[in-house]
Structure 1
Amino acid sequence: MKKLTAVIALSAALSTPAWSAGQTITLSVPGMTCAACPITVKKALANVDGVSKVEVSFEKREAVVTFDDARTGPETLAQATANAGYPSTVKE
């Protein structure tokens, strides 16, 4: 029974690293000029390793991204949108 408890505790500790944290940022994406543009931006951001949630607003010309900051960062996210043809910057 002690071994089972130890295995469960170890697997729980390893499944969520203590040093990583979720972070949410807003990217300004002024180049979105049509209603189809947010689809491309969302796909580009969703394909970045560590991204867990993406919401894109055509009306506001922005993307709200939730990601694991141990796996990616704002620069990588901005580069992903730029690579898709939509340069972006982090909104303060």
Structure 2
Amino acid sequence: MVNNIIGQKKSAFSIREVMDNNKILLVNLSKGKLGEAAAKLLGMVFVMKFQAAAMSRADIPEDQRKDFCLFVDEFQNFATDSF
């Protein structure tokens, strides 16, 4: 399953679009379904993708940027030095 997700050449959706258009994205990373290692890996990938999308918003003037919140359940599983 992880290979099917990470191995795609083009994403089916844009995290930047989610952020810019006030959309809600729910990601089920259940350890029971994916396994602990796969859930942690995919969670960290999503966090990195959100960080990259947030940084790419520098092309929008700050006063025109819409705020975006990222809620992460079980944060300790996906924490990095930059997050």
Give the structure-1-normalised TM-score: 0.25
Task: Please state which structure has a larger fraction of its residues in helix.
Answer: 2
